[in-house]
């Protein structure tokens, strides 16, 4: 059997049961954006880690070293945001090939420091080693949350509204621009920025987790077609998502129209938007939208609803269910 046949999550499910009995009652292990470990009577630790591999997650000559340093930390801070937590510190391990010079690494660390300083997240340690050809970057972030307040994937309830904190598909648009050498434009630079230098929604996640009527939450790293399924599977519910309600930026629609892109597919499966996807009680949705807009000057967008049923996304267009053969990003798909 090849990994391409089962994908990364199929692989995880093969070994996850081996460790279930070792997870203590005060811990949350495999299956959420972060592990949760009890710290004291008032707080829990949050732990997350991500690996970025050259030519898989980034192309060295298509991203500046400072952007790469920034993004390496950002994708991990986004996991802390998805749990509604606050980062405490990070650890960086990097494998460096001989062709990479010291000035490149200086710039990488400058970008890493920029985001560290922005969210008061010190670099506390890590490791370095030599690689033969490619850069490999692993970041681990420690965070904290109030006891029992971390937002998990298994908390969605039938009747909840499904919402996102921003536009979808912009990062996929930026990637398309990089791969296809699309001519420079204002819209293109906007999409490139969204892809190369994503912003973790830490303040937004903290705000949302402070409301008990906000239930499940996850960051959009692989596209909502994949990430929403994690919530549905963990919560044992289904969802109806209205394709017509998906938020697309004017920049994506502009270049997408010029290039003939399927922007809906990019929004659903492109990934790396790092917006927050969450479920919230319908009764307070309007209040959350109003408060969020005042606080962050950006809207919360209602894209569908949680319903009873086996874990599945029912895609609606003009109130009619349609098939959308989109799975989201899979590291091992060929």
pLDDT above 80 for 14: no
Per the model's pLDDT, the better-predicted residue between 292 and 7 turns out to be: 292
Same-domain pairing of 194 and 291? yes
- Provide the β-strand partners of residue 305: 161, 240
Q: What range defines the domain where residue 254 resides?
A: 153-322
Query: Does 31 fall in a domain?
Result: yes
Same-domain pairing of 199 and 92? no
- The rounded radius of gyration (Å) of the Cα atoms in the chain is 20
- From the centroid of its chain, how far is CA 120? 20
Residue among 183, 326, 204, 198 nearest 265 (CA): 326
Same-domain pairing of 258 and 109? no
Cβ–Cβ < 8 Å for 290, 299: no
pLDDT, tens only, 205-229: 999 999 999 999 999 999 999 999 9
Q: Please report, for residues 76, 95, 108, 127, the alpha-carbon distance to residue 133 in angstroms, rounded to integers and kept in the order given.
A: 24, 10, 18, 18
Same-domain pairing of 192 and 123? no
pLDDT, tens only, 23-62: 666 666 666 778 888 888 899 999 999 999 999 899 999 9
Query: Does 5 fall in a domain?
Result: no
How many Å apart are CA 132 and CA 97, to the nearest integer?
Answer: 5
Query: Does 183 fall in a domain?
Result: yes
Same-domain pairing of 131 and 159? no
How many Å apart are CA 241 and CA 243, to the nearest integer?
Answer: 6
pLDDT, tens only, 229-265: 999 999 999 999 999 999 999 999 999 999 999 999 9
Residue among 150, 263, 133, 125 nearest 205 (CA): 150
């Amino acid at each position: 059997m090849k990994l391409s046949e089962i994908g990364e999550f199929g692989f995880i499910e093969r070994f996850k049961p081996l460790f279930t009995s070792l997870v203590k009652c005060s811990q949350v292990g495999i299956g959420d954006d972060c592990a949760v470990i009890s710290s004291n009577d008032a707080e829990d630790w949050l732990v997350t880690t991500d690996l970025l591999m050259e030519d898989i997650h980034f192309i060295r000559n298509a991203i500046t070293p400072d952007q790469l340093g920034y993004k390496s930390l950002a994708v991990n801070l986004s996991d802390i945001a998805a749990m509604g937590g606050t980062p405490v510190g990070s650890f960086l391990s990097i494998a460096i090939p001989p062709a990479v010079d010291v000035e490149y690494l200086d710039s990488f660390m400058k970008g890493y420091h920029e985001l560290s300083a922005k969210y008061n997240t010190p670099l506390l340690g890590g490791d370095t080693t030599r690689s033969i050809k490619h850069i490999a970057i692993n970041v681990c972030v420690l965070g904290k949350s109030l006891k029992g307040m971390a937002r998990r994937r298994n908390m969605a309830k039938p009747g909840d509204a499904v919402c996102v904190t921003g536009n979808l598909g912009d990062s996929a648009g930026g990637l398309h621009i990089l791969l296809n050498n699309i001519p420079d434009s204002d819209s293109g630079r906007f999409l490139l920025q969204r892809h190369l230098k994503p912003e973790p929604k830490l303040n937004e996640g903290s705000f949302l987790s402070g409301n008990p009527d906000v239930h499940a939450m996850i960051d959009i790293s692989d596209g909502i077609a994949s990430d929403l399924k994690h919530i549905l599977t963990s919560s044992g519910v289904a969802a109806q998502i209205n394709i017509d309600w998906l938020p697309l930026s004017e920049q994506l629609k502009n270049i997408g129209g010029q290039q003939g892109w399927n922007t809906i597919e990019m929004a659903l499966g492109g990934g790396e938007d790092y917006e927050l996807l969450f479920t919230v009680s319908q009764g307070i949705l309007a209040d959350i939208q109003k408060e969020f807009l005042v606080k962050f000057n950006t809207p919360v967008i209602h894209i569908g609803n949680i319903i009873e049923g086996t874990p599945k996304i029912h895609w609606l267009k003009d109130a009619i269910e349609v098939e959308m053969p989109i799975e989201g990003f899979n590291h091992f798909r060929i």
